[in-house]
């Protein structure tokens, strides 16, 4: 009987030990990690400005019986155009393309060759009409543009970013107040995709010219997503 009692006690001890080692701590499992309360909002900031730079393309197409003659004549024409652009205040001149191709008559037979060349130039908006007039007088028969932009585009975008953060804060404050809370510190900021300046067409004063250019206004915008802690 004593031996049986000893075995029974030993068995109970083994069960108790197994329970202590293998069973989960149910009290601890029922207490999930507490995360800080937060709120996330999106803000959009915009900055309006009048563009001060214009980029345009100027080219010439010449036609001759042979490709060699077309290229030679086109080179002479483009040298005149480039010189005229520089004298009119054009800068950052760069060749965009050069092409030579045959053209045909009504019967589909090759009737000669055309050579085309185009160069881009940047100027102040106020000088853009002078560039157009000068290029046309020099023989340009292909003119396109202008593409209007601001020389301080990066600074404008940073201003828009700052306004976007302010807008996100205002949105978050409204939501926090509605829920009886207040905002804490910013815990995360995510910048949205940058937006190219959007033209806002408005009348602007122009210098006398045969080619009027109206720069209007451009809108630069930025988007951010901001997370705030809550108190």
Q: Do 215 and 50 meet the contact criterion of CB atoms below 8 Å apart?
A: yes
The angle, 0 to 180 degrees and rounded to 10, between the axes of the packed helices 128-138 and 67-87 is 150
Q: Indicate if 46 and 79 belong to the same structural domain.
A: no
| Residue 136 buriedness (CB in 10 A; 0-12 / 13-18 / 19+) | middle
Q: Indicate if 60 and 171 belong to the same structural domain.
A: no
Q: Is residue 29 part of a domain?
A: no
In this prediction, residue 41 carries a pLDDT of 95
User: Could you tell me where the beta strands, DSSP code E, fall in 105-201?
Assistant: 110-124, 142-149, 183-191, 198-200
Number of structural domains (the chain) is 2
In this prediction, residue 8 carries a pLDDT of 46
End-of-domain residue from the set 149, 182, 215: 149
In this prediction, residue 21 carries a pLDDT of 45
In this prediction, residue 211 carries a pLDDT of 76
What residue ranges of the chain have pLDDT lower than 50?
A: 1-35, 199-207
Rounded to whole angstroms, the Cα distance separating 197 from 157 reads 9
Q: Indicate if 72 and 144 belong to the same structural domain.
A: yes
Residue 119: give its domain's CATH number: 3.30.70.2970
End-of-domain residue from the set 105, 124, 149: 149
Query: pTM value?
Result: 0.64
Q: Indicate if 130 and 194 belong to the same structural domain.
A: no
Query: Which domain, by its residues, includes 196?
Result: 38-50+152-230
Q: Indicate if 165 and 101 belong to the same structural domain.
A: no
Written as one string, the DSSP assignment of 173-229 is HHHHHHTT--EEEEEEEEE----PPEEE-------S-SS-----EEEEEEEEEEEEE
């Amino acid at each position: 009987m004593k031996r049986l009692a000893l075995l029974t006690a030993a068995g109970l001890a083994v069960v108790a030990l197994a329970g202590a080692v293998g069973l989960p701590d149910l009290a601890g499992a029922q207490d999930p990690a507490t995360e800080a309360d937060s709120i996330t909002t999106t803000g959009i900031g915009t900055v309006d400005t009048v563009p001060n730079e214009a980029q345009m393309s100027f080219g010439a197409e010449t036609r001759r019986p042979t490709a060699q003659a077309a290229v030679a004549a086109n080179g002479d024409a483009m040298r005149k155009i480039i010189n005229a652009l520089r004298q009119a205040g054009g800068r950052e001149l760069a060749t965009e393309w050069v092409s030579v191709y045959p053209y045909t008559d009504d019967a589909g037979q090759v009737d000669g060759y055309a050579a085309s060349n185009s160069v881009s130039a940047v100027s102040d908006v106020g000088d853009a009409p002078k560039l157009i007039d000068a290029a046309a007088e020099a023989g340009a028969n292909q003119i396109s543009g202008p593409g209007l932009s601001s020389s301080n585009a990066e600074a404008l975008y940073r201003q828009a970013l700052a306004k976007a953060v302010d807008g996100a804060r205002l949105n978050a404050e409204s939501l926090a107040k509605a829920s009886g809370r207040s905002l804490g510190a910013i815990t995360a900021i995510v910048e949205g995709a940058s937006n190219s300046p959007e033209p806002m067409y408005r009348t602007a004063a122009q210098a006398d010219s045969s080619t009027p250019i109206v720069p209007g206004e451009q809108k630069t915008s930025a988007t951010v997503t901001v997370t705030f802690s809550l108190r």
